[in-house]
Amino acid sequence: MSKICNACGMPLEKKEDFAGGNEEMDYCLHCADESGSVHSCEEIFEGGVQFFMGATGADRALAERVTRKNMKGLPHWQGKTCTVLEGEEATDAEFAEALAKL
């Protein structure tokens, strides 16, 4: 069973996917540095928006809603306050459609 990044949801399938190449990490190379320090919520959110826009062809507004829904469901963000995660989320249908395009 493969792991996913606790901050962005990226599948962690190969050693290179993990922060610092450390398979004990719960974060991907995009969300944390080699020491395991997780990037800011804003940085990870913007990375998610750019990813969904590129991978699914979504416009920015939809990519933001999908990213918001995705991040808010992940362990790293539970109990944390992050301004960019406030606001409208994708509907379940929009979210499923975006994930189906990946």
Average pLDDT of 3-11?
97
User: Are residues 68 and 97 located together in one domain of the fold?
Assistant: yes
Total domains in the fold of the chain: 2
pLDDT in tens, 33-62: 989 999 999 999 999 999 999 999 999 999
Largest CA distance in the chain: 37
User: Exposed, middle or buried by CB within 10 Å (0-12, 13-18, 19+), for 27?
Assistant: buried
User: Are residues 50 and 61 located together in one domain of the fold?
Assistant: yes
User: Are residues 45 and 30 located together in one domain of the fold?
Assistant: no
Residue 68 reports pLDDT greater than 80: yes
User: Are residues 81 and 92 located together in one domain of the fold?
Assistant: yes
Global pTM value: 0.94
User: Are residues 4 and 52 located together in one domain of the fold?
Assistant: no
Range of the domain at 34: 1-38
